[in-house]
Structure 1
Amino acid sequence: MRFLRLTLGLVLVAGLTAAGLVAYNGYASFTQPGPLDATRRVVVEPGMGLEQIAERLAEANVISAPLVFRLGAKLTDQATRLKAGEYEFAPGATMQDVLDQLNTGETVVRRLTIPEGLTSDEVVALIEAAEGLVGEVPEVPAEGALLPETYHYAWGDSRADLVARMRASLQAALEELWIGRAEGLPLETPEQAVVLASIIEKETGVAGERALVASVFINRLNRGMRLQSDPTVVYALTEGTGPLGRALTRADWQIEHPYNTYRIDGLPPGPIANPGRTAIAAALNPEESEYLYFVADGTGGHAFATSLAEHNRNVVNWRRVRDGGQTQ
């Protein structure tokens, strides 16, 4: 009987020692650097359970022992608090690090930059191509309804929600800038300011020129002169679907279209693109000038003129530069 008790005691001690070794090895595995040798992104989809998450992490080589990861999640009371989303894990991240990141929901922040001056068709194309967004854009927004800038989003955000944010950003910027507009502008509504800003945006890519270009159009509007803006003719020809792909011709300037500012008086009926905040600010606070004309100068900017004779000389210079000659 004494021998039996001694034998059972030795077996119990051996079992406890083995369990302790297993626990120790498990803890060491849980806290030691993981197998990742480079940053890696992993998507945890909504509805995934702990076992599915552990298997996905193992398949991505983020962790090496799914069972240890699951036990660690349960023992630390985090098994039911893991959040869906796109995660970026650092090289050598421990299972404890990975679990903490999934528990806090520290997901990847994605960015989508919308350049100034794109049409709504072009903006929607960028949104549809953006990785990580879900759903469809219900309809192409009206021109000038979206504010170009860099937008942050997370994996799984909806395209419709992003478009709504772009609309709200445009309205917020427009309301703010309209309040601080210059006095005496020939613009009756904020919507007209967006129309003019869209033309300014398409006329120059030089930020420092926008207020001066705005002054030309404001001066022409105040004098009852037609705007005669080439980008409005391009929009009339393409309906905003994309670039024209060729130079304008004399015949193009003669087309009967409500957006052809060579043929209509005043502003066209709507924007020709989505202007940025700087262009809207320029339309509402133009520089003071007597300029009525401008043309490209061959350096990326424009040459401005107060008279048609001066403008014609600038046009001759521009054609000379375009054709490989020198300016006078």
Structure 2
Amino acid sequence: MWRHIASNFLTFLVVLVFLLGGVILWGQAEYTAEGPLEESICLRVERGTNMRAVSRELVGQGALSNGTIFRVGAEYSNKSSQLKAGSWLIPDGASMQEITDIITRGGASTCGTEVVYRIGVTRSEVQVRELDPATNRYVEKAAFIPGESDAPEAFENVREKADTRYRIAVAEGVTSWQIVNGLQSVDVLEGEVNETPPEGSLAPDSYEVRAGDTRGSVIERMRQAQDVILAEAWQNRAEGIPLDSPYEALILASVIEKETGVPSERGQVASVFTNRLRQGMRLQTDPTVIYGITKGEGVLGRGLRRSELRAATPWNTYVIEGLPPTPIANPGRASIEAAVNPLDTDYIFFVAKTLDPRDGHAFAETLAEHNENVARYRALEAEQGQN
């Protein structure tokens, strides 16, 4: 009898082990399989929350097929205690394992609200944006100009969220003075910048910052980035360009940057200035005259006078030979690369095609051709004046 009972118990144990093994294999398969989420979502994880509460939220949003398997999987992989507060982008079809990795990895939030401090050539602006998980694009919620309008309620609200991201976007062609001035309005930064960095030494780009970062540390990041960009460009420069140093390349790049806002024609503009330098012609470019007037501190805000085109300043390329003594702005990577690798053309003249700078320039190889282009532009100016 005891032998019979023992045999049945052993059989029961074997069946139980097989069943348990099957459940484990099924659970593992479910944990790593593609999830049911049909459209990306932004999951906000509050500070002090736990994996159980998160699993309920994920089930409610259709990201999990089974909250228990999700929690067991996170516990088995020793990640239950590593949950990170923030806003996390959960892509469509994400497996439980992938979701666990996303919400325990840490770092900056990957979705939610972002405040962008834009430092532009003509003005600075603060923009509040929120990521739309469905399109993975940021949607503007509010914007204002510091000093000219009050901060909207949307801005004040996001400042109170711990997972709000902050970014400083510096436009190509801004001056060092404009950057320092713009950083003063970035209220999440601390400290002062006591000296304006050398013109051209800061890389225009988008920089993520954290509340409490210093303005000096942001300046240093920009400086280091520009050093790397310039060194790489100079190392890969074309043979025979009329530039003797990386600094001369930076000067020319700043002139190119200020002469065109059309990315596709930077190489052509670079070729004009390169050809002029080779032929000993003066560069004769208006932005250098403007810099001689403003020294990079603000925007001129009007057209140039004839007397200013003739005035002798160190930067006036209608008067001086060759390059100006310093950059006239902070050029971006594309303009630096164009300066050291210009297109191979015979152009030595250019003038705006239309009154809209976005339409670019008309280039010419001869003075006669250039005069025709200028005549067309003057006709557009006259027509605009009559309307």
Output aligned runs, 1:176-191, within 5 Å.
176-191=232-247
Give the TM-score normalised by the residue count of structure 1: 0.67
State the match for 2:174 in structure 1: 118
Structure 2 counterpart of 1:321, which letter?
A: L
CA contact (8 A) 1:146 1:170 kept: yes
State the match for 1:256 in structure 2: 312
Structure 2 counterpart of 1:125, which letter?
A: N
State the match for 1:62 in structure 2: none
The count of aligned residue pairs is 240
Output aligned runs, 1:255-274, within 5 Å.
255-274=311-330
State the match for 1:138 in structure 2: 194
Q: Does 1:215 align with 2:274?
A: no
State the match for 1:317 in structure 2: 376
Q: CA deviation at 1:262?
A: 0.5
State the match for 1:203 in structure 2: 259
Q: CA deviation at 1:206?
A: 0.2
Q: CA deviation at 1:126?
A: 1.8
Q: CA deviation at 1:124?
A: 1.2
Output aligned runs, 1:7-18, within 5 Å.
none
CA contact (8 A) 1:195 1:267 kept: yes
Structure 1 residues 201-230: Cα deviation after superposition (integer angstroms, max 9, x where no partner): 000000001010000000000000000010
Inter-partner Cα distance in structure 2 for 1:316 and 1:248: 19
State the match for 1:279 in structure 2: 335
Instruction: Give ranges in structure 2 of 5+ residues lacking alignment.
Output: 1-42, 49-81, 90-102, 109-162
Q: CA deviation at 1:103?
A: 12
Structure 1 counterpart of 2:292, which letter?
A: A
CA contact (8 A) 1:216 1:293 kept: yes
Structure 1 residues 32-58: Cα deviation after superposition (integer angstroms, max 9, x where no partner): xxxxxxx99x9x9xxxxx9xxxxxxxx
Structure 1 residues 224-271: Cα deviation after superposition (integer angstroms, max 9, x where no partner): 000001000000111111111111121111101110000000001000
Structure 1 counterpart of 2:171, which letter?
A: P
Inter-partner Cα distance in structure 2 for 1:295 and 1:139: 37
Q: CA deviation at 1:105?
A: 7.2
Structure 1 counterpart of 2:226, which letter?
A: L
State the match for 1:305 in structure 2: 364
Q: CA deviation at 1:287?
A: 0.3
Inter-partner Cα distance in structure 1 for 2:242 and 2:107: 51
Inter-partner Cα distance in structure 2 for 1:204 and 1:317: 19
Sequence identity, in percent? 48
> In angstroms, what is the RMSD of aligned CA positions?
2.8
Output aligned runs, 1:1-328, within 5 Å.
107-298=163-354, 299=356, 300-324=359-383
Structure 1 residues 165-207: Cα deviation after superposition (integer angstroms, max 9, x where no partner): 0000000011111111000011000000000000000000000
Q: Which runs of 4+ in 1 moved over 4 A?
A: 86-90, 101-107
Structure 1 residues 57-82: Cα deviation after superposition (integer angstroms, max 9, x where no partner): xxxxxxxxxxxxxxxxxxxxxxxx9x
Higher relative CO (Cα under 8 Å, sequence separation at least 6) belongs to: 1
Structure 1 residues 253-297: Cα deviation after superposition (integer angstroms, max 9, x where no partner): 110111000000000100000000000000010000000000000
Q: CA deviation at 1:128?
A: 1.4
CA contact (8 A) 1:253 1:262 kept: yes
Q: Looking at CA atoms only, which structure, 1 or 2, has the larger radius of gyration?
A: 1
Structure 1 residues 88-139: Cα deviation after superposition (integer angstroms, max 9, x where no partner): 799xxxxxxxxxx999676443111100001111111221112311111121
